[in-house]
Amino acid sequence: MPHKFDDSNDDLYRIREHDSFNSITVPHQSLMATSSSSNISTKVEELIPPIDIKDIILNLKVEYNYPEIYKFIEELKSPNNEMKVNNRILSVSQLYTLHILNDLIDMSNQTIRKIYRPTLFIRKNDAFGPFNHYYLLKLFDIEYECPNKDNFPKVWKVTVDTNVIVNVLQLSTATNFPTEANSNAIENDTATLIGTLRAICENINTIDHLRSITKDDWDKLNKITHVVKQLIRDYMQINSVLGLFNQSSDPYKESTATLLDDIHRIRRYFYYVIKKLDLIPYLSRQAVDLAINEVRKTYDDDGNILINIQNYLRTFCLKNKVEDQLLYEQNKRQWIDEIRQLKRDKTSSDQETEQCRIQLERLQRDLKTTEKRTGNIIRREAALIKKSTEGLSRSQGADNIIYQKEKNKAIKFLEKDQKELAQQTERYVILIAKASSIKKNIECLEKLMELKLEEQHKR
């Protein structure tokens, strides 16, 4: 069954045919410095002969200082037997580079060509409003440079034999070389924002005024067409959302599960580009488990709701690939060990559940006794109060005080027993759900053990 990158809009991607890679998938906007069509590419090639890059440096500039991010980057850097090109075992980041840079990169309009940065940021606006998306989710940025800080050729590309050197840099210490394209873009934005607005909107002189302009004021601007008005609105909406997107606060300070989830999204993006998405599950099991634990801290679960959600989400943490026989046999040995451990956990869980059940029954009996005793005291006190209305004697008043003290004491015991019973009931329900979860995991692994791989391949 064909797979598609489901973590963002599929329309943002396209497939290019290439002899070396056999239908390579690249981001739609990742080659902005290259020609936008085959005709333009042919013209550029005719004017400036392209140069094949033998060595290129990939700099991964880390935005946040978390060990999980560095562990993921190490995963991207490490050679992977699944990533083979011309009998070369590459890493995910190396194969990714060969994919996104396999077409012509045209930098002929730049005088300084020290750094090449693929455009991985999507900015769009439609009837539903602005949309901004960065494929790397600002966990880290990527850029390319030549060895020895040399300039890139005016037109260049990588080949299947290009050597990709991967460096990891802190974003604050990474070297940023100004490029003519970036400088022109800033100048053009400034000219467009100030010059154009002042030219076509005589009564609009500030950004705040432009942001707060009413519909009636828009209608009064007769000198500009509806299309131009819509362009201005789109520009303001996109950039207002972009300001929120580029927030300086740390989004992972309060939630490690969010960090692990974003790491997995980026992982799926890389594997999508290199056409290996079938090797990666839809969700990260570690992120799912940690997210459930984080929710449990603030959500008053009444039993097995969160565990049922967790078990459901775990079904998306399995690899969606039919494995070969050798790998299947290796996994079977791992599953055997997992089943043994799960059975030990089930035995321990069953014993703990039984002990909890016994304590729960004892607390239920104690609560019934306390309720009965408290009820008797309250009835005797009520009888004394009734007698006191007929004629209060000194002895009746003293008895009333004694019963009042006994009642208050009994109520405290009753509240204590009720609290203990509620806590024990909650613990018992959690243990029951845990035992059920362990049982389902065992059954799932046993079904995988019984799987006939030959029949699955035939399907």
DSSP annotation of 192: I
Q: Quick one: which of 234, 25, 210 has its CA closest to 124?
A: 234
Element housing 52 (H / E):
strand 51-62
- Residue 81 falls inside a structural domain: yes
- Residue 399 falls inside a structural domain: yes
- C-alpha–C-alpha distance, residues 271 and 273, integer Å: 5
Phi, psi of 65 (to 5 degrees): -95, 80
- C-alpha–C-alpha distance, residues 258 and 244, integer Å: 18
Note whether 120 and 210 are same-domain residues. yes
pLDDT at 332: 81
pLDDT at 298: 84
Which residue spans within 103-240 are E strands per DSSP?
A: 105-106, 115-116, 121-126, 129-134, 140-145, 155-170
Note whether 223 and 339 are same-domain residues. no
Series of mean pLDDT values for 10-residue runs along the chain (459 residues):
41 39 39 43 66 93 91 94 89 94 89 89 76 86 91 92 91 45 36 50 58 65 64 60 57 91 95 91 92 86 76 79 66 86 90 91 89 82 69 56 77 87 88 85 82 58
Note whether 36 and 153 are same-domain residues. yes
- Residue 311 falls inside a structural domain: no
Record the pTM. 0.56
Note whether 145 and 36 are same-domain residues. yes
Query: How many domains does the chain fold into?
Result: 2
- Residue 416 falls inside a structural domain: yes
Amino acid at 407: K
Note whether 193 and 48 are same-domain residues. yes
- Residue 93 falls inside a structural domain: yes
Q: Quick one: which of 82, 77, 83 has its CA closest to 62?
A: 77
pLDDT at 187: 36
> What are the beta bridge partners of residue 363?
none
- C-alpha–C-alpha distance, residues 290 and 263, integer Å: 14
Which CATH number is 414's domain given?
Answer: 1.10.287.1490
Q: For residue range 265-275, list pLDDT tens digits in order.
A: 999 999 999 99
- Residue 168 falls inside a structural domain: yes
Q: Give Cα 299 to chain centroid, integer Å.
A: 21
Last residue of a domain, one of 188, 221, 245: 245
Q: At what angle do helices 67-77 and 256-273 cross, to 10 degrees?
A: 20
Helices (H), 299-324: 305-314
Q: Give Cα 318 to chain centroid, integer Å.
A: 17
Note whether 235 and 330 are same-domain residues. no
Last residue of a domain, one of 226, 245, 264: 245
- Residue 272 falls inside a structural domain: no
Question: In terms of residue numbers, what domain contains 131?
Answer: 10-245
Note whether 206 and 105 are same-domain residues. yes
- Residue 229 falls inside a structural domain: yes
Last residue of a domain, one of 245, 275, 294: 245
